[in-house]
């Protein structure tokens, strides 16, 4: 018998990196379900504009996820304004592309600061709040790169493997301790956002939209499970592919166009606006690195 879907009406949901893309689409969908949504984004103006367009009980606030003290203060402010947090969606993430020898140290540091350290910090804060209250749900947005290597995005791949492993380990930890908190890692294929600008489609898995990822997040919140793949066929392909020798997998990746998808996008003019923006996306971590 299928589990009864949980209602999100009246639940307080926090979404990091919620000003655009997957975060904005998720905010819209959850607000339509009656959730009280807090959008955090480095661009405060964008966060407020997105919150206004989403409607319902939605607020937009400034959030630099790489400033851990600031992240904690942001969660405190959300709870003062909307109430105890029921759901945290760690969505903020960056994907600058470089061959490894060309990747600046600042980029390496920023990717881990945004994609990994912020996820860990946010999760810790959520658990500290949710556990005494007897429940909650944490959704960490990983990537297909958390399962499949991306040439031209080696550091990004490392960060998403980290998010996937971190989330799966906590799933087991919570079960062992009987902690009443659900945790889900979401693994989208290439998403049609700024992050994938300049990258050619993989012939094996079609790109997905932010709205499709948002639907998957909503479904996971209604019926909790540890891993979600977007599209669902991606999960099937990964499980099937694991049965074949590595050499075959690499050959197939080459044939389908995945081998060079990111490599050939590195110098693409289409990516320049995105690359310039993400180079400034971890101010808290940059201050710490320079200090």
| 156 tagged catalytic | yes
* Distance, CA of 278 to CA of 195 (rounded, Å): 9
Taking the C-alpha atoms of residue 291 and residue 239, their distance in angstroms, rounded to an integer, is: 44
Q: Of 71, 156, 229, 274, which residue is the catalytic one?
A: 156
Write out the chain in H/E/C secondary structure.
Answer: CCCCCCCCCCCEEEEECCCCHHHHHHHHHHHHCCCEEEEEECCHHHHHHHHHHHCCCEEEEECCCCCHHHHHHHHHHHHHHCCCCCEEEECCCCCCCCCHHHCCHHHHHHHHHHHHHHHHHHHHHHHHHHHHHCCEEEEEECCHHHCCCCCCCHHHHHHHHHHHHHHHHHHHHHHHHCCCEEEEEEEECCECCHHHCCCCCCCCCCCECHHHHHHHHHHHHHCCCCEEEECHHHHHHHHHHCCCCHHHHHHHHHHHCCCCCCHHHCCCHHHHHHHHHHCCCCHHHHHHHHC
**Which residues are catalytically annotated?**
156
């Amino acid at each position: 018998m299928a589990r009864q879907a949980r209602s999100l009406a009246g639940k307080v949901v926090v979404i990091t990196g919620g000003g655009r893309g997957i975060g904005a689409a998720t905010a819209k969908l959850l607000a339509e379900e009656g959730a009280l949504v807090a959008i955090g984004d480095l661009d405060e103006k964008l966060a407020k504009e997105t919150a206004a367009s989403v409607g319902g009980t939605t607020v937009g606030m400034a959030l630099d996820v790489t400033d851990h003290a600031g992240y904690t203060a942001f969660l405190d402010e959300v709870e003062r304004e909307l109430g105890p947090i029921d759901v945290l969606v760690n969505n903020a993430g960056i994907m600058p592309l470089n061959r490894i020898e060309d990747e600046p140290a600042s980029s390496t540091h920023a990717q881990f600061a945004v994609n990994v350290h912020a996820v860990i910090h946010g999760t810790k804060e959520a658990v500290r709040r949710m556990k005494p209250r007897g429940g909650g749900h944490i959704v960490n947005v990983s990537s297909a790169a958390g399962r499949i290597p991306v040439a031209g995005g080696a550091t990004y791949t490392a960060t998403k493997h980290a998010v996937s492993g971190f989330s799966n380990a906590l799933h087991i930890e919570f079960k062992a301790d009987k902690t009443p908190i659900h945790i889900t890692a979401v693994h989208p294929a290439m998403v049609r956002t700024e992050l994938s600008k300049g990258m050619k489609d993989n012939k094996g898995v079609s790109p997905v939209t932010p709205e499709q990822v948002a639907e998957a997040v909503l479904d996971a919140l209604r019926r909790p499970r540890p891993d979600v793949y977007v599209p669902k066929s991606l999960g099937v392909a990964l499980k099937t592919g694991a049965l074949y020798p590595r050499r075959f997998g690499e050959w197939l990746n080459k044939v389908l166009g995945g081998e060079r998808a990111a490599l050939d996008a590195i110098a693409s003019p289409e990516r320049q606006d995105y690359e310039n923006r993400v180079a400034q996306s971890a101010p808290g971590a940059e201050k710490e690195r320079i200090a």
